Amino acid sequence: MSRELAIITSRFTVLLLCIALQGSGVAQERDVAAEFKAAKGGITSQLRGKKSNRLEAVRKVEAFPTPEAAKLLLHQGMSNTDEEVRRASFDVLVKFSRDNEVCTFLRATIGKHWTQGKPQPETFVCIALLLASELPDFQAEAIALVKEAAEHPASGRIILITLADELSNFRGNNAARPLIELMDVPLFEEDFAFRRAVEQALTQVRSKSAVTALIRLLTLVKGEVRSDIVRYLTELSGQQLGLEAAAWQDWWQQNETKFEFPPERKIGAGGLANLGPQVPKRPAAGPSYYGLELSGAKLIFIIDASGSMNGPRIIAAKRELVRAIEGLPGDVEFNVIAFNSRTYVWQSKLVPASGENKQNAMYFVAALGLANQTASYDALDAALQFDGEAIYFLTDGAPVGGKITNPPDIIRAITQRNRFRRMTINSLGIGVGQPGNTFDTFLSVLAQQNFGAYERVDQ
């Protein structure tokens, strides 16, 4: 009997201990906070040390899911100059976003800057973390904040594009989840620049859920966004499956489980990721301009009408432009801009590619005269005033005249403006000369930093 009593007493003791442990959550949390306070000095020093120490410090912080630990990662881990340290910090913060107190801290950090349209760098990280949180209430609050921002066309779209760009720097499902949430914001359907920013970020994060979302998006979009997705999937898979979402869905259904992303390659600023097998360039399937596919839904053609274009160059340029305009499908909108010392805009807005509009555009092109100077910046700036998707910029000489003439300054100014327009800028250079010269570099870098292609035209 005494043995049975001892067993019962032992079980009762264990039960009391379990009850005591369950009721001591606050005390345990204080212990974790105290442990982090004791370790914070050493971790902070490591975060300021060499790269291997910084990554080790981030791993140590993971053991302390507290607001203070989140604050350290937010202000020191996320601001680190090393890409790997930032990504590791973000992944740990996503794990922390399962904690109520940490989410409360993140929400407080967002504060008034978000609603006033003046978010700080850490604000974008915090909103991304709440969007990725597994706590429904906090995630719903983040979605509400995003939708509120989207209601302000001027500041809101800039904030949300910046948020998408911030998320493109991270990797995996932790980055994909908040991006997929952004696809449900009404602005995603209404605004090309925001839609393309989210789509481009999804191509960067190397997540299977992002690939699934992009294939699903194929059924809903056209123009440059659709072209981006198809190019990404083609490079990722090595398959030539065209524009139809059904073919890509079949491919993904067969390969998703065993699929592994190839090694990541570095890309130039503003370019799309080239993550998969190299795919030979094929001739454009539809309408084209000097061999470049006209894939956008809203197109702007810029043609150089400077004196150096005189003779065979302007004859060929007009012929190719007329041919491109003739081939435009009726559901495309377009405009034409000519430039020399001035810019000559054919229409005050983009117009549908109807038979009448195409004929009038061809008359405009045929009647173009030539004059001195090559005000490239002014022409590109004029094109960015329109609600377009793609620009085709044809010129035969380095910039001369206009508001900005130094090629690197032109690239910097146009790329900065285009960040929140997201238009593709394709460059076509006539008689460019030796690769690597100033003119060649200008056109190449302009296209590279603005999602476009560069085509050398031998004339």
Q: What is the pLDDT of residues 323-332, one digit of tens each?
A: 999 999 999 9
Residues 312 and 242 in one domain: no
Confidence of residue 111 (pLDDT cuts 50, 70, 90): confident
267-278: pLDDT as tens digits:
544 444 433 333
Residues 397 and 323 in one domain: yes
Residues 380 and 359 in one domain: yes
Last residue of a domain, one of 72, 96, 120: 96
The pTM of the full predicted model, rounded to 2 decimals, is: 0.86
Range of the domain at 45: 35-96
Contact yes or no for 78/86 (Cβ under 8 A): yes
**Helix, strand or coil for residue 436?**
coil
Is 5 domain-assigned? no
Closest CA to 423 of 115, 197, 187: 197
Supply 375's token pair. Answer: 């005000």
How far, in Å, CA of 254 to CA of 234, rounded? Answer: 16
Collect contacts of 133-136 with beta carbons under 8 A, ≥24 apart.
Answer: 133/97, 133/98, 133/103, 134/97, 134/98, 135/97, 135/98, 135/100, 135/103
Last residue of a domain, one of 96, 124, 146: 96
Contact yes or no for 383/299 (Cβ under 8 A): no
CATH number of the domain to which 436 belongs: 3.40.50.410
364-420: pLDDT as tens digits:
999 999 999 999 999 999 999 999 999 999 999 999 999 999 999 999 999 999 999
Confidence of residue 442 (pLDDT cuts 50, 70, 90): very high
Helix (H), strand (E) counts: the chain = 20, 9
Q: What is the mean pLDDT of the chain?
A: 88
Contact yes or no for 302/393 (Cβ under 8 A): yes
How far, in Å, CA of 447 to CA of 409, rounded? Answer: 14
Is 25 domain-assigned? no
Q: Would you give the end-to-end CA distance of the chain in angstroms?
A: 107
Report pLDDT for 263: 87
Last residue of a domain, one of 234, 255, 276: 255
64-75: pLDDT as tens digits:
999 999 999 999
Closest CA to 103 of 75, 134, 147, 145: 134
Confidence of residue 11 (pLDDT cuts 50, 70, 90): very low
Strand partners, 59: none
Helix axes 121-132, 173-182, angle to 10 degrees: 90
Report pLDDT for 264: 81
How far, in Å, CA of 413 to CA of 407, rounded? Answer: 10
Contact yes or no for 248/214 (Cβ under 8 A): no
Report pLDDT for 428: 97
Report pLDDT for 283: 53
Q: What is the mean pLDDT of residues 151-173?
A: 90
Report pLDDT for 330: 94
Residues 48 and 189 in one domain: no
Please calculate the CA angle 92-98-103 and round it to the nearest 5 degrees.
90
**45-59, 331-345, 414-428: segment of lowest average pLDDT:** 45-59
Q: What are phi and psi of 87, to 5 degrees?
A: -65, -40
| pLDDT higher than threshold 80 for residue 14 | no
| pLDDT higher than threshold 70 for residue 23 | no
Is 273 domain-assigned? no
Residues 92 and 104 in one domain: no
Residues 79 and 179 in one domain: no
Number of structural domains in the chain: 3
Exposure string for 179-201, b = 16+ CB within 10 A, e = fewer: bbbbbebebbeebbbbbbbbbbb
Residues 305 and 173 in one domain: no
Write down the residue that tokens 């009593």 correspond to.
5
Closest CA to 64 of 31, 23, 22, 100: 31
Confidence of residue 157 (pLDDT cuts 50, 70, 90): confident
Distance (Å) of CA 139 to CA 20, 105, 127, 168, 205: 32, 14, 9, 19, 20
Report pLDDT for 284: 58
